[in-house]
Amino acid sequence: MAITRQIEVNDWRDYLPAFSKRNQGRPTRLEATVQPGEGAPVLAEHQPLLGVEMDPKGSSAPAIAVMLGGIDQKTPELTHFIPEPTSIWVEEEPNGPAVAIAIESRKEGKTLLIFEEEQALPGR
């Protein structure tokens, strides 16, 4: 059974690179809170995770960047910036992989990065 826990603000700088390394390449779905009529909440599906990074400087600092795709020419890279994050929650299997990460922001609401199940290899 998966466990959800909050990552403390002081731990973001160390946690996000480790999270990215553990989950790099896994297929994901990226969703964002949007106001009615402002677009689809699903920003990407079936895209490999490149990384989740914190940018401590800039006009919206701190900001978090979620980077997907970009593994070949057919898969363009997508970077979604989350300005002024207020909290990070991660759902993980005990001693196992992450299920999802939620990033809340004053400006953007909630962004969800959900790991999709990997497809079985052909012939199996």
Grade residue 118 by pLDDT with cuts at 50, 70 and 90. Answer: low
| Mean pLDDT across 92-118 | 90
E strands of 1-124, at which residues? Answer: 3-7, 27-32, 42-55, 63-68, 78-83, 85-92, 98-105, 109-115
Grade residue 38 by pLDDT with cuts at 50, 70 and 90. Answer: low
pLDDT at site 76? 81
pLDDT at site 60? 67
| Mean pLDDT across 30-37 | 77
Q: Check whether 104 has a pLDDT greater than 80.
A: yes
- As a residue count, the chain comes to 124
Average pLDDT along the chain:
87
Distances (CA, A) of 121 to 21, 118, 124: 23, 9, 6
pLDDT at site 35? 62
Torsion of CA 38, 44, 50, 51, to 10 degrees: 40
